[in-house]
Amino acid sequence: MGLKTALKLAITGNVIDFAVGYSPERIEEDVKAMLKEELYVDNSDELFERPEKARTLLYLTDNCGEVYFDRLFVGALKKSLRG
């Protein structure tokens, strides 16, 4: 999985978590639809090059509902840093 895809999944987790009255039955179709979308504001290139220069990375999550998607992103980021 590429970093951009993993980032979109982390964003998708936040969107799903934010939605009031969200139906869990729609998760698969919504995730697929959101992955096809372009980011409205895309600073991901800068985001992806900064950890290469850092000694420590702190990634904050706000609740357990979307942590699954966040873990995918952090895993992809760690993998990219290892080369």
Q: Where are the domains of the chain?
A: 3-82
pLDDT given at position 24: 78
Residue 14 CB-density burial (10 A; 0-12 exposed, 13-18 middle, 19+ buried): middle
- Among residues 7, 75, 14, 61, which one has the least CA distance to residue 35? 7
Residue 83: the pLDDT is 63
CA distance 32 to 50: 28
**pLDDT of res. 58:** 84
In the structure encoding, which two tokens stand for residue 60, read together? 């904050």
Q: Which residues of the chain have pLDDT under 50?
A: none
